[in-house]
Chain A
């Protein structure tokens, strides 16, 4: 709780509202001709906006209109409810308002609501709903008929697991929330939504589990989202950058994932998920550095295997960050550290190399980074070329030409492979940049320079916070109970508590005991 004191002074105690302004205006014209004229003007006669006028009632005395966006609204659904509307509309006078009557007696299924303001009508039409405008009515009926083409639920390609659910988020926010809701069908799972972006009006929702999450974190997330005033949100990266704690840091302070099971597991640990329409990447806050090394496999595989894999991943992260600089420092300044036979070998290899080790390392590292980026951007059909060039350039040719030593190729290859083991892509990419900084320091000051650089990064990591939670939570400040899920993953029946700093409200996760065969007296 202590980490929230600073925020408290800014006045946290009142509840932060999380909804759009001007939703309660009453400014719809009652004259249908004027109404449609205004609509036409507003949409500028766009070809994909369909406006159909029709008459209601058997003697056709009520003038009405139907407005929707072609392609966003589902035609089948529109014709279905239209049939109902025209067939069952009563002959006699209706005592209540027509809109109310339709809502209560005719369209009693589906998502039907009355709205009062122009902006709301426009927004709903542009999001795929159908607006029914009836003459002399002060409100407009909105029927949810959203149904546009979207990608099927597929396994996320960037976050692979051996064992675990094969479903991933897609670009539809409703599908995404449903995927998580299906995993946690609890009344405590809360979802709030608003629209951000003056032009894009992108749906942004936050999800959390009431009772587990620290309410102050939820308030803070809402406050930061409310502060956003931007014209467009095209991807959750926009939101991430507008709400994160430290912009000028290599390390990510907002987590993103495509996996519903990951989101569910983080929600259960007292975190808040932020869904953004139009992207499969869901944000999770607050984060700690440990999250970036936790893969789903750790929890689905048996615990010794999960723990081993996680230790391996952490070790390879260090290899990916420090191996080239360590090699450069040792071969340039501290040759006594190398066993003699190996040293002789290295010296023989380096004999004809024209560059010092640091230049050599830079050449190879930059070559690899270029290859990697090229492989990513290149059309799949010519992807083969990259691997051939990579193998030849990185492998034999450079060594044969005497530009780099074979040992350096091994080091770079090792680094490259190690870099792919980190499950969090954001963290992996940070390590790539840190590697270059350390390389410069190691080339100029040897191991002392490396130590200096590493200490600076440790200080930096220690000073980072994500939504009030220290970035190194569990490691520093040290918490013994949290150690069960940082470097290793202990069996579930030992992890009785949720992570200390994240879920201070409801700490106890489970009370199961270790499994055992039935005892004699049972």
Chain B
């Protein structure tokens, strides 16, 4: 049986995936470069991200009955296509390992600094094992429940911050010209927007492909707007320098929540919604990775490779980076060209080839 998800479920997945781990890292990495104009960078990057999303969805829509690996083979030839497919599989698993590390660092530093990282890695590992064994239908159903919770967490933070924001923190606008803004946009493009290429594996599951472009780009924009608000609020609440230096800026924002003087320091509760967002992104990346590998090697059932892949991913999450500083610097420097190549350039190239091939035939 081929599993099917609805287009609304796809939208939910896109929103949670885009917000995912970007939520906690994006403000710092943007504000690092564009200072008080970070919010412009945020909105600019989500607009450009919409173009990325459009490229990806157009590519998939051109081949309605093929999965992504078949498209690669069809456009690039059998062996080269598979090689690129393998490259993509690596990218997805790599992304999963990085997101896993992000989540683990977030939990470890904020919840339980004395507990070994392996405990949290194992917990996340069990979750991706369970979800990917259950398949995309279950993942999207879980996400249907999780997304409202994490959105409530995020928007509650934004709304509860309204009494203490200082709007003049974002002025002067464009003080140093356009250049810092573009510089700040750059890391945001690679992380999270170019990562949307992962949905090349998910879109073929959608049962009604009719409005898919609108839904895919629209949900990406919604997530972009949420991220924009997060960046804006972070700048207005924390000011520029604290945002730059904090590891998890929105977490520090949530720390300031205080309801009627007796409910304060609710950041742990709010950050639970952040964690489930990260968990969803992790699950989608990992699921896409296993599926990609199964399709490259034309396995009958992707489930047979899940357990080894979980072990590999969890180990990678330890091996790839030394500490939280490296996690952050990797995400904002090295990651961008890497995910740009895979998430934008190759799909664009494929789209071009598909047009040429179409003209020939």
Q: Which residues of A contact B (CB under 8 A)?
A: 2, 5-6, 9, 333-334, 336-337, 339, 445-449, 451-452, 455-456, 458-460, 462-463, 470, 472, 475-478
Contacts and interface: CB of A to CB of B under 8 A. Distances in A.
A417 to B, nearest CB: 24
Contacts of B275: 448, 451
A452 B125 CA distance: 11
A459 B144 contact: no
Contacts of A449: 123
Given A446-B111, A455-B127, A477-B9, A2 B141 contact: no
Contacts of B265: 336-337
B138 interface: yes
A467 B117 CA distance: 41
A62 to B, nearest CB: 64
Contacts of A446: 111-112
Nearest to A4: B1
Contacts of B1: 5-6, 9
B262 interface: yes
30 contacts: A336-B268, A337-B265, A337-B266, A337-B268, A337-B269, A445-B115, A445-B119, A446-B111, A447-B268, A448-B112, A448-B275, A452-B126, A455-B127, A455-B142, A459-B130, A459-B131, A459-B138, A460-B130, A462-B134, A462-B138, A462-B141, A463-B138, A475-B144, A476-B142, A476-B145, A477-B6, A477-B9, A477-B144, A478-B8, A478-B144
B207 A2 contact: yes
Interface string B233-270: 00000000000000000000000000000111110110
Given A337-B269, A455-B142, A478-B144, 16 more contacts: A2-B4, A2-B207, A5-B2, A6-B1, A333-B111, A334-B268, A445-B119, A448-B112, A455-B146, A459-B130, A459-B131, A462-B134, A475-B145, A476-B143, A477-B5, A477-B9
A477 B145 CA distance: 9
Contacts of A5: 1-2
Contact of A452 (B8, B123, B263): B123
Contacts of A460: 130
Interface in B40-80: none
A476 B111 contact: no
A450 B251 CA distance: 20
B272 interface: yes
B112 A477 contact: no
Contacts of B112: 333, 445-446, 448
A438 to B, nearest CB: 14
B289 interface: no
B344 interface: no
A463 B146 contact: no
B140 interface: yes
A456 B111 contact: no
Given A334-B268, A448-B107, A339 B144 contact: no
Contacts of A337: 265-266, 268-269
Given A337-B268, A339-B263, A456 B130 contact: yes
B229 interface: no
Contacts of B262: 339
B276 interface: yes
B264 to A, nearest CB: 8
Contacts of B107: 448
Contacts of A451: 272, 275-276
B279 interface: yes
A470 B207 contact: no
**What 8 A-B pairs have minimum CB-CB distances, sorted nearest first?**
A476-B144, A462-B141, A476-B141, A463-B134, A6-B1, A336-B265, A339-B262, A463-B138
B318 interface: no
Contacts of B6: 477
Contacts of A336: 265, 268
B222 interface: no
B120 interface: yes
Contacts of B279: 455
Contact of A456 (B127, B266, B272): B127
Interface string B106-119: 01000110010001
Contacts of A6: 1
A344 B191 CA distance: 44
A476 B265 CA distance: 32
Nearest to B111: A448
Interface in B158-180: none
Nearest to B262: A339
Nearest to B124: A452
Nearest to B120: A448
A333, A446, A448, A477 pick with most chain B CB within 10 angstroms: A448
Contacts of B145: 458, 462, 472, 475-476
A470 B4 contact: no
A452 B134 contact: no
A361 B23 CA distance: 36
Given A5-B1, A462-B134, A477 B127 contact: no
A105 B353 CA distance: 88
A186 to B, nearest CB: 34
Nearest to B273: A451
Nearest to A334: B268
A12 to B, nearest CB: 13
Nearest to B133: A463
A2 B126 CA distance: 29
Interface string B132-161: 001000101111111000000000000000
Contact of A447 (B111, B130, B134): B111
A2 B138 CA distance: 15
Contact of B123 (A2, A447, A448, A462): A448
A522 B235 CA distance: 63
B140 A477 contact: yes
A14 B22 CA distance: 53
Contacts of A448: 107, 111-112, 120, 123, 275
A334 B207 CA distance: 44
B45 to A, nearest CB: 29
A456 B269 contact: no
Contacts of B264: 339
A215 to B, nearest CB: 20
A452 B278 CA distance: 13
A5 B1 CA distance: 7
Interface string B178-215: 00000000000000000000000000000100000000
A447 B271 CA distance: 11
A503 to B, nearest CB: 19
Nearest to B266: A337
A6 B2 CA distance: 9
A336, A446, A459 pick with most chain B CB within 10 angstroms: A459
B142 A458 contact: yes
B105 to A, nearest CB: 13
A448 B273 CA distance: 11
Contacts of B268: 334, 336-337, 447
A50 to B, nearest CB: 57
A475 B12 CA distance: 13
A336, A452, A470 pick with most chain B CB within 10 angstroms: A452
A337 B263 CA distance: 7
A448 B145 CA distance: 18
